[in-house]
Amino acid sequence: MNTILQLTPVQVGLAYIFVLLVLLFLRLTGIRREKELLISSIRMTLQLILVGYLLVWVFANPHPLITVLIIVVMESFAVFTIWRKFRKVLTRELTRVIAGAMAIGTLSCITYFLLIVVQANPWFNPQYFIPIAGMMIGNSMTGISLAVKNLTEGMTVQRNIVEEALVLGATPRDAAREIMNGSFDAAILPTIHSMVGMGIVFLPGMMTGQILSGTDPTTAIAYQIAIMLGILGSVSITVFLLIQFGYKTFFTAQQQLRP
Amino acid sequence: MIQFRDVRYQTILDIPSLTIETGGVTAITGPSGSGKSTLLKLLNKLISPTSGSILLDGIDLSSIDSVLHRRDVVMLRQSPELFPGNIRDNLVIGLRFRKNQLPPDEDLLAALQTVRLEKALDADTKTLSGGERQRLALARVLLLDANIILLDEPSSALDESTAKVIFETLTSYARDHHKTLITVTHHADFAQRYSDRVISLVGGRIVEGGAV
């Protein structure tokens, strides 16, 4: 009962039938997405194989510097991904705020989670550090993307109403308040909604993975609850920091809207 | 007293010297694109000069906190925006920004009366016409009781007779309450009839009036 079914490469290959199926749909409907689908499937496979071998090596040779290096790479890649997505509308100042919010928000949550909640020993134990950091950074990246999108769009589309508020004596914060609150809402709602459906509509990926690899479901659930709350914290803190400092980048030191 | 010293704003405005005495009504006239709105925005500190300085009672605006300045020198924009909500929400929003205590409904209705807008305070602003929106925005500005009031085409969406009444009300309000009213208008006759001084702008430069 408790034996773990190992997947052979051939078995994994069989799952590619789904990609072929989607390719068939795309061909039949004439939707031009074949190239992206193929590239993303191949990238996903190669990246995961590489990271699998990397993790095997890292787990066998735990070292604080290696753990730190991996976190730095993950954080940098997350910031780079956001920058690449929004580079046309991002100012240098807002990019800096994104990097700062990501670093402070995720690192503080990861530290609390590992040292106080999980009590990992040693603290840099890659088996805990890397997957937990990955989930927090990944989810925070999605949150920040949503916040950046809403903030930059709001400050562009509603520029007139922000200016009207300034003219009437509002501080920049008061003038941008509606946009800031809307951006925060839009960024954390997906996390809140996913908690509502969890366990009923779907089993979260992390828990599913643990159960498939032989972990007792109660242990998996305990981790899932804790990590979900950690993700909520990390997303909320990063987004909060981004918005609280990010809105200022749309105003000059003289509290005027930037041209 | 407001003084302009070698003020330039991009290529839009170039005012080597201008003095506007506080108190009374000053009209700014000129063809479209002559820099009238830019002049008001500079006075409200919504923008700052590219070069030169503007002094209010001898103090350079660039050294004053912009938010506090805008609370003392309020402005009605040419196409004012209304905020979501009803008429009451819009009337008090400037006071909310100042964290002031909100006035009773009688005062709000009196402000609407001043601009000849007879509407219920709970009416949604979506139901208002262009002229009504402009008058609501004007009432909102007057409620702030600022010392200097800048108006950018306050009558642009009004018919001639309403515009006349509004100008009469505004000028008597300014004189009775010792306010400084600076208004941009394309109504040359209104400018002559109701103002104490007229500044004419053409191509970003002053052509008559000036230091008065």
* Per-residue pLDDT reduced to its tens digit, B61-72: 999 999 999 999
Domain of A78 in residue numbering reads as: 63-250
pLDDT, one tens digit for every residue, chain A (259 residues): 456 788 899 999 999 999 999 999 999 999 999 999 999 999 999 999 999 999 999 999 999 999 999 999 999 999 999 999 999 999 999 999 999 999 999 999 999 999 999 999 899 999 999 999 999 999 999 999 999 999 999 999 999 999 999 999 999 999 999 999 999 999 999 999 988 888 887 778 888 888 888 889 999 999 999 999 999 999 999 999 999 999 999 999 999 999 8
Q: What is the DSSP letter of B120?
A: -
Find residues 131-160 of chain A whose CB sits inside 8 Å of chain B. Answer: 160
Helix (H) and strand (E) counts in chain A:
10, 0
Q: What fold, for B2-208?
A: Rossmann fold (3.40.50)
Answer with the one of A43, A61, A79 that is the final residue of a domain.
Answer: A61
Looking at the structure of chain A, the number of domains it has is 2
ipTM over 0.90: yes
B80 neighbourhood in chain A, CB within 8 Å: 164
Res B211 pLDDT > 50: no
Domain boundary among A15, A34, A61: A61
pLDDT at B121 over 80: yes
Taking 3-state DSSP, the helix, strand and coil percentages for chain B, each rounded to the nearest 5, stand at 40, 25, 35
A25 & A105 share domain: no
What pLDDT sits at residue A140? 96
Q: Tell whether A102 and A215 lie within a shared domain.
A: yes
Q: Is residue A42 domain-shared with residue A99, that is, in the same domain?
A: no
- What is the β-pairing status of strands B59-60 and B73-76? unpaired
Task: Give the integer Cα–Cα distance in Å for A242 and A104.
Answer: 10
Q: Domain check: are A54 and A85 in the same one?
A: no
Share of chain B above pLDDT 90, in %: 73
State whether A255 and B48 contact (CB < 8 Å).
no
CA distance A192 to chain B (A): 27
Q: How far apart are CA A189 and CA B80, in angstroms?
A: 33
DSSP label at residue B86: B
Phi-psi region of B33 (alpha: psi -120 to 50; beta: other; left: phi over 0): left
Q: How far apart are the first and last CA of chain B?
A: 11
- The minimal CB distance from A254 to the residues B48, B79, B140 is found for B48
Is B19 an interface residue toward A (CB < 8 Å)? Answer: no
What is the dihedral sign for C-alpha A225, A228, A234, A239?
negative
Which residue, A35, A61, A87, sits at the end of a domain? A61
**pLDDT band for position B212 (cuts 50, 70, 90):** very low
Band (pLDDT 50/70/90 cuts) for residue B124 is: very high
| Closest residue in chain A to residue B72, using alpha carbons only | A169
Rounded Cα gap, residues A10 and A3, in angstroms: 20
Please indicate, yes or no, whether residues A123 and A45 belong to a single structural domain of this protein: no
